Amino acid sequence: MSSGSGVQYYHHGRFRVAGGILPNAITAYRTYGDPANPCIVFPTCYGGRLDNVGLLGQDYMIGPDKALDPTKYYIVTFALFSNGESSSPSNTPPPYNGPYFPAVSYEDNIRAQYAVLTKELNVKKVYCVIGFSMGGQQAYYWPVVYPDFVEKFIPICGSARTSMHNKCFLEGPKAALVNSKDFENGFYTKEPQFGLRAFGRAYSAWAYGQTWFREHGYLLGGQNSSLEDFLRTGWEGGFLGTWDANDLVTLLHTWYHGDVTLVGKSTFSAAHDEDGFASTLGSIKAKGLIMPCKTDLYFPPEDSEFEVSLMKNNAKLVIINSVWGHMAGGGANADDDAFLKSEITKFLEGA
């Protein structure tokens, strides 16, 4: 694990979000490296935590021998609202606790992160925003919300908007959780294990490409395993005891409504604005390195190709040729990590 500052907490006070008001919003963050170096922002994904507990942490990409070198850059990692570290249904006191927690947008998260950077860390400009999955979607949002504050951005297995295909997938694990017999409409008094286990199983299949299953079978920890072990250990176990059910639902809502054309609007929109989407991406000033995975079922490369075509030569498309599907961008294996490091290093150093 790369050493860092440890998790810190910024108190915003009263903070408006898409679904209402948080009386004392909190953003969790960590820093790595010398503040005098160029700043890189690296926000969490769905299932990601700064304390590296549960499904995925942030340290997998940070280190002198990794894609983000803290001896060269000042790296700031941010926890999304509703991840259990920043303000979330599980840690917010009444009357905004649990199912009463307001809906939060990506733009809300970006505004909160900007406040930490400028008010607490005295960052004048961000050299690059990089993220995986939901972190990749935030990377797209940054140069739209703050066009003159960001020089470069790298979405890895992410998108500028959540596609209809992606939304259809999200409805599955959400339904498995909220309709479980122990979710209690969000008013559960103990961990809703039936719901969390069902959620994990419904979520699992899309994490890897079909080819991964054919080539790797059920390999966990280097030992042959059954499909049942894969589901129970890797996916039920990834959520049980570490993730609150209301947090998962609220965070999923942020993902579901991701769309850069919504920046500056007061409400979520149910429909894609194709003209607005093209003009929004075309107006991005920052240089982009767009890195989808060939076998990603969440964010397929075809979506990235279309997005890059709208960015007027400001973005470069590099497809991760991997059987690991979505998880190719999440530190799942050494080969993909090495490829990411190579391409990211070249991009950051100006090649």
Intervals of the chain under pLDDT 50: 1, 224
Q: What is the pLDDT of residue 219?
A: 57
Looking at residue 227, its pLDDT comes to 80
Q: Which residue, 314, 323, 317, is CA-closest to 147?
A: 314
The per-residue pLDDT for 135 is 98
Query: DSSP secondary structure string, 88-151?
Result: -TTTSPTTSSGGGSPP--HHHHHHHHHHIIIIIS----EEEEEEETHHHHHHHHHHHHSTTTEE
**Residues known to be catalytic:** 133, 296, 326
Q: What is the pLDDT of residue 228?
A: 84
All domains of the chain, ordered by start, with CATH? 8-163+259-348 (3.40.50.1820), 167-252 (1.10.1740)
pTM: 0.94
pLDDT of residue 274: 76
CA separation for the pair 347, 340 (Å, rounded): 11
